[in-house]
Each structure stands twice: as structure tokens, then as C-alpha cells.
Structure 1
Amino acid sequence: MAKAGKPVQGATIIDVAAKAGVSAMTVSRVINGRSGVSAATREAVEQAIAELSYVPNVAARSLVTSAELRIGVVYSNPSAAFMSELLTGVFEEASTWGARLVLLKGDGGRPPAEAELARFAASGLSGILLAPPLGEAPVVLRALKGAGVPVAAIGAYRVPGATCVRIDDRRAAYEMTRHLLDLGHRRLGFVMGNPDQAASAERRAGVEDAMRDFPDAGVQLVQGDFSYASGLAAGEELLDGPAPPTAVFASNDDMAAAIVSVAHRRQLDVPRQLTVVGFDDTTAAVTLWPPLTTIHQPVRRLAAEALALVADEARGASAKTRTRRDRVLEHEIVKRSSTAAPPRGDR
């Protein structure tokens, strides 16, 4: 048993997570005795709790849950597969906290009306989660300004007054582009995401970083918006050119799936004649042939981490001890059957 250290004034679940080197979601699971945590991780969390003399605020939690911990989720995403993963993570973590979820949906990637958002923020919520792309939408941020509750923006960058939970999009896109270049591809296509999201710019920057390492290679940039329909249009544009790419990197799996569909319609073999890769690792990546090589973005974990941070603030952290921080989770490249070296004549 670890010896208790000097108490840390106002220590929160976030402090415990930082000391143990894990997420707030993992600390929550240990505190609540839930499964899915390794013995070594559980021991590290328990030691951090002891060293910080952190005591879960049961009284505060009881007050919050008796008044019903209500977490608002504002979402509007054109990718059904992405939203399915995100909402699953939110629902699973909400059950840990005994939280009630209140959903507000926009249409087609657009935010709800500003008046509707303002009413939502004033409806007695304990905290608010913003799903991409709404975490960076000006109308949403105006409506929630001064709401007086903790806010977490998933997949967003530098949102005033909110905790952002994301991956390193630039690094992930760099690594995927290098993978294609290392396979021998020198004519690449890149389908960009929604221009209103910082993550789209970060992914483009990662592609351009990698291309600078290969002066004999070129990339054609085509605008998309993360929807399947935009992927179809991008695929037609890329493959209609006089020297079409031998590999296409789409900024999400829905658009990558659309590229594969366009290739099949043109009787192109994927991957022998065209390599296609995506981003997110949603169900869309494995429900088509061939299954996509993609970047695994832990969407469920991002959502669960965001809810855990908001719930912890709502149930115990005072305004003085609340911290707004950029939480960055790990990503990885998942290699499947949609990638190969370019045709011999294009090497």
C-alpha cells in the first residue's frame, strides 16, 4: 500500500490522471471499480490517489446526481459512422457517472440555430460536449459564452473557455503520407476535410510536411467536406486528370470509401491500380472491399475522456480549480488491404 503524501489542495481527478500518466476516464473506472483496466494501470492510479491524498467528493457527487447530472451533447456531423462511434463513447461513459444525456442536433454538419443553442445552454445542464465540427463553430461559441458550465470540444483546437480533446492530426497525416511515399508512390491525391475545422488544416499541413521530404513527388489537393458525397466528387476529379494519382489519401473514411466506389465504377483494381487510405478507423473502413488502411483515431475514447472531464468538473471542481487543457490521445496507422506499391510503370 502506497503511503499517503502531502495533501494537494483542491486535487481533482485530472491531477490524479496526470500523475499516473493515464486519462481521467481511466481514473474514473478505477474509482468506480469498473473492468477494462490492467492491474499495472490500476496500481499506478491507486498510488497517485494515495500520494495526492485525493478523496472522491462523495458528498458533492451525491448532490449532483440527486439533482441529476445532465450533460448536453451538441452534434451535427455528416459522417454517420463517426457519429456512431462518438455517441457510443459518450453513452458508455455517461453510465459510469450515472449521467443523463440531453442531445441537441443540427443538420448536415451545420449547427442548430443560435436561439436554440442559447435555450439549450440555459436549461440547467451540468456540462456540455461539442462534437466536431461544432467545437469551432462561431455561432455555437457565441451562444455558449457565459453559460457557466464546463465545456469540452472533441476534435477541436484552442477553443476559448473549453477543454479540447483530440489527437495530433498533423503528425497522423504526416505518418500516413510517409507510408504511401515509402511504398513507392510519387503521384498522390489528397482529399481535404471541412475547411471550417482546424483539424482539416492540420491534416493538410501533415501531408505537405511529408511531401517536402520527397522532391520528386507531387500531390493534388481536392476539397471535400467529410461527407460521402464530397468524396464521390473528389474521386471523379482526381481520376479524370491526364496523370491521375496512384494513391489517394482522404481526410476521413467516408470520403475514402467513396473514392473506392469511384475506382470500382471505373473498373480500377484497388489496390493494384489505385491505393486508397482514410482517416478515423470507423466501421466504414471495414464494411467495404477491400477494407481500408486508415489512421485509427480513438473516437470512443476521445468522447469518453471529454465526458469524464466535464462530469468531474460538474460534480466537484470549483471554478478556481477548473483547468482548461489540450488533451491529446494517441493514434496509429491500421494497415489493411487497400494499399500496395504503385503499378510497375509508375514506380
Structure 2
Amino acid sequence: MARHAGVSAMTVSNVINRTGRASPDTRERVIKAIADLGYVPNQSARRLVGASVACVGLIYSAVESVFVEATLAAVAVVAAEKGIQLQIRSVEHGATGDVADVARDMIRKGAQALLLMPPYAEMLGEQAGSEGLGVPAAAIATAMALPHIATVRIDNRAAMRTITERLIAQGRTRIAVIAGPPRHSDSLARLEGYRDALRAHGLPVDPRLQAEGDFTFQSGLAAAEQLLNLSQRPDAIVSTNDDMAAAVLWVAHQRGVRVPMDISITGFDDTLIATRVWPPLTTVRQPIRDMAAEAMEWLARAVRHPDRHDAPQDIVLPFAMIERQST
């Protein structure tokens, strides 16, 4: 940290502990280094960077997903900027245990607030007992308001309807979907958005054109095989995340199916993988960094003023459809 701030270790100690002398410029550089590096050694440092919450517990699903990795990175950057320590706990993919037990353990170990991702956001947010945890909780990337915790999200249903309608406008009429796991509210909302678009334009909702994955690349491979094996192949496939859409591209290339001439393919999230495949994916962009920042701000306010947060907030941020060569 001293090297990052361009000062001596003794100067860093003096600024953090408010001992000795330091010029305003030096003090500002040390405070910036603390935020940049996420180094929060004690309560004095937390006061320096103005954080009202010292430690946030983050619970997420241990699934191989570019979106999960990008979200973890965004939360870590926001926490570092705000001088907040993160206590991170992954829960095995598909685990059915009580997420409240995990939350209570994190609180015992110092978490003053909780930040959750699907499906554990829904699992905890729908439990009346979550109010008894004694700390504020927020969720990012869920698809609906939850009764007992704050939520920061996009309108997943409207986003999937928008991207499906774009395919319809391009003349696609046999549009298939790869849904995510049903325990994820965002997956269910995206599936409904796809159906909304078909119904609005007089196209049938054909169950044969629906496959289910679990947001992983591997599950996308199986779903793509299922859909491309149909006797009447779809002329478009909308995937409920980028990982599964990338898998569809893989299978299409293997079979000699041309994208987008023979079939259009779309993803969701606009993660790094969307621009690392060929052709690059048309997708929906979620503002991950903004969602993380909004959630952290809400948690900080809730810790600072617990009496002023009677009801959890539901913050809906704008999404964007990003059109690329896969359509």
C-alpha cells in the first residue's frame, strides 16, 4: 500500500491511526490507496474511507458461469472503492440446504450486511425468518421484488421480450428458447418474456421449441443438440444467458449450420464471452457494476440508519440490447 500511495509505511500508519503528521495531499493519496486496494485493517481505516458498513457477506452459487465471475469481480471492485471487506461464501450448485444457516454463520463471523445472488436471493428473500437475522440484506440480478430483502435488478421479462421481438422483426418465425434453471427467478422471467413476444405477434408457443439448461456451457451443448435435432429446425434460438448461447454456436458450427444465415442466436447478460465467440453474440446487457454499487449503497444506508429502512427497496435499472453479428 505504501508503494501504491508513494509514501513510507510509517506515513501510511500515521494516516490510518491518526498519529504523527501528514499533509492533506499525503492523506488524500493514502485514503485513495486504501480504497483502490480494498485494504481495511481496522475501524480507523473504515472511518477514513467513509464506510458505514465494515464487512458484507456475499452468497452465490458455485456454478461455472461467466456472469457469476463478472458479478463477483464487480462486487469486489465496488467494495474496494468503498473500503468494505467482503466475506464470500459459495454454495454448491443445486444445494437445497437452508441458506439462512449460511447467512447466520457469516453474521457470527462479522458480516454486518448480506448481499445475495440467485437462487439464494430468492431462497432467503422469501423466508419470513430472514427478518430475524438482524442485518440488512440485498440481492442483485434477481428478477422480482422480494418481501424481506432489497433488490437491484433489470426487468428481465421486458428484456427477453425485446430481443425476441427483434428476431421476429427480422423475419424469424420458428424461434426456440433455452431456459435456465426454474429455481432462478430471472430464468422464469426471461422465459415469460420470450412467450410474451411470440403471443404478441401471433406465433405459437411450441413446447418442442423449448429446452432447459442450468446456465452452464455444458448444459447449453445438450440443449442445442436437442433443438437442432428437431425434424423442423428452428430458425432462431434465444438463450437465457451468454454461456448457453456460446454453446449453441459451437454445436451449429460443428453441424455446418451457418450463423446468422441459417439460424440466428442470442444470449443474455453481455459478458466477456459474448465478444469472444464467432460470430459475436447479440445479447442483453445487464449493468453489473451499477447493480453492485446500488446494492452496496443501500446496505451502507441501512446499516447507518436501521430505523429509516422499514421496507426493502426494489431498484430496477435500465437494460440495453446489444446487436452483433449472430443475428
With normalisation by structure 1, the TM-score equals 0.74
SS in 2 for 1:271: coil
**Who is 2:54 aligned against?**
69
The 1:65–1:187 alpha-carbon spacing in structure 2 relative to 1, beyond 3 Å, is same
Matches within 5 A, 1:209-228: 209-216=196-203, 219=206, 220-228=209-217
* 8 A Cα contact 2:126 2:148, kept in partner: no
**Who is 2:292 aligned against?**
303
**Who is 2:107 aligned against?**
121
The residue identity in structure 2 corresponding to 1:153 is A
Cα offsets for 1:233-276 (capped at 9, x unmatched):
11001000110101000000000001111111111111111110
The residue identity in structure 2 corresponding to 1:123 is K
Among 155, 167, 173, the alignment partner of 1:168 is 155
Among 121, 146, 151, the alignment partner of 1:135 is 121
SS in 1 for 2:92: coil
**Who is 2:239 aligned against?**
250
How many angstroms does 1:162 deviate by? Answer: 0.6
Partners of 1:141 and 1:104 lie apart in 2 by 19
**Who is 2:82 aligned against?**
97
The 1:264–1:73 alpha-carbon spacing in structure 2 relative to 1, beyond 3 Å, is same
The 1:145–1:126 alpha-carbon spacing in structure 2 relative to 1, beyond 3 Å, is same
How many angstroms does 1:320 deviate by? Answer: 3.7
Among 144, 154, 173, the alignment partner of 1:186 is 173
The residue identity in structure 1 corresponding to 2:123 is A
The 1:252–1:65 alpha-carbon spacing in structure 2 relative to 1, beyond 3 Å, is same
Matches within 5 A, 1:141-152: 141=127, 144-152=130-138
How many angstroms does 1:278 deviate by? Answer: 0.5
* 8 A Cα contact 2:199 2:205, kept in partner: no
* 8 A Cα contact 1:151 1:162, kept in partner: yes
Partners of 2:94 and 2:275 lie apart in 1 by 24
Matched, 1:206 2:185: no
Partners of 1:124 and 1:64 lie apart in 2 by 19
SS in 1 for 2:145: coil
SS in 1 for 2:306: coil
How many angstroms does 1:223 deviate by? Answer: 1.4
**Who is 2:14 aligned against?**
none
Matched, 1:230 2:225: no
SS in 1 for 2:67: helix
* 8 A Cα contact 1:76 1:134, kept in partner: yes
How many angstroms does 1:123 deviate by? Answer: 2.4
**Who is 1:16 aligned against?**
none
With normalisation by structure 2, the TM-score equals 0.78
Matches within 5 A, 1:102-113: 102-108=87-93, 110=95
Partners of 2:203 and 2:52 lie apart in 1 by 63
Runs of 4+ in 1 over 3 A off after TM superposition: 61-68, 109-117, 138-145, 216-219, 320-323
The 1:92–1:285 alpha-carbon spacing in structure 2 relative to 1, beyond 3 Å, is same
* 8 A Cα contact 1:86 1:299, kept in partner: yes
The 1:287–1:142 alpha-carbon spacing in structure 2 relative to 1, beyond 3 Å, is farther
Matched, 1:153 2:139: yes
Partners of 1:225 and 1:293 lie apart in 2 by 20
Partners of 2:109 and 2:179 lie apart in 1 by 37
Partners of 1:338 and 1:66 lie apart in 2 by 44
Identity across matched positions, percent? 35
Matches within 5 A, 1:323-342: 323-339=311-327
The 1:105–1:287 alpha-carbon spacing in structure 2 relative to 1, beyond 3 Å, is same
How many angstroms does 1:318 deviate by? Answer: 2.6
Matches within 5 A, 1:44-59: none
* 8 A Cα contact 1:105 1:111, kept in partner: no
Matched, 1:313 2:302: yes
How many angstroms does 1:118 deviate by? Answer: 2.6
* 8 A Cα contact 2:49 2:83, kept in partner: no
How many angstroms does 1:67 deviate by? Answer: 9.4
**Who is 1:29 aligned against?**
none
Partners of 2:198 and 2:70 lie apart in 1 by 31
**Who is 1:259 aligned against?**
248
* 8 A Cα contact 1:79 1:254, kept in partner: no
* 8 A Cα contact 2:153 2:316, kept in partner: yes
* 8 A Cα contact 1:187 1:218, kept in partner: no
The 1:297–1:329 alpha-carbon spacing in structure 2 relative to 1, beyond 3 Å, is same
